[in-house]
Structure formats: structure tokens, C-alpha cells
Amino acid sequence: MRQGSQGQTRQAHELAQNEESKHKVKEEMKKKILISHSIFSLTANAIFVIFFSSFSHFFVQCC
């Protein structure tokens, strides 16, 4: 009887570790998504600024 309860305890412990590792993986994925999203937005902002400044420069020269 005693060995059965130890087995259940071990299973519960392994299950808890499994859930914890899943949570860590989710956190890592969130970080990677956040980093790639911020890089993308920075790149988009840089492209927009370059385009806007060149367009305004062109507009000033024309008029």
C-alpha cells in the first residue's frame, strides 16, 4: 500500500514539473514574439521616417 502512494506522489511531482516546463516554453515563446515584433516595428518606423524625409525633401525642391 505504501509503495502505491509513493508512485502517485512521484506522478504528481512529474506532472508538476511537466506543467512548469510547458509554462517556461510559453514564456520563452512570448519573449521571442515580443522581440521580433519590436524589431519589426522599429524597422517599419525607420523605413517610414526615411521615406517621409525623402518625400518631404523632394516636395520642397519641387515647390
What pTM does this model have?
A: 0.51
Helical H runs in the chain?
2-62
Q: pLDDT band at residue 4, thresholds of 50, 70 and 90?
A: low
Integer angstrom CA distances of residue 63 from 13, 41, 52, 55, 56: 74, 32, 16, 12, 11
Rounded distance between C-alpha atoms, residue 9 and residue 42, angstroms: 49
pLDDT tens digit string along 6-61? Answer: 778 888 888 889 888 998 999 999 999 999 999 999 999 999 999 999 888 887 88
Task: Give me the residue spans of the domains in the chain.
Answer: 1-63
DSSP state of 8: H
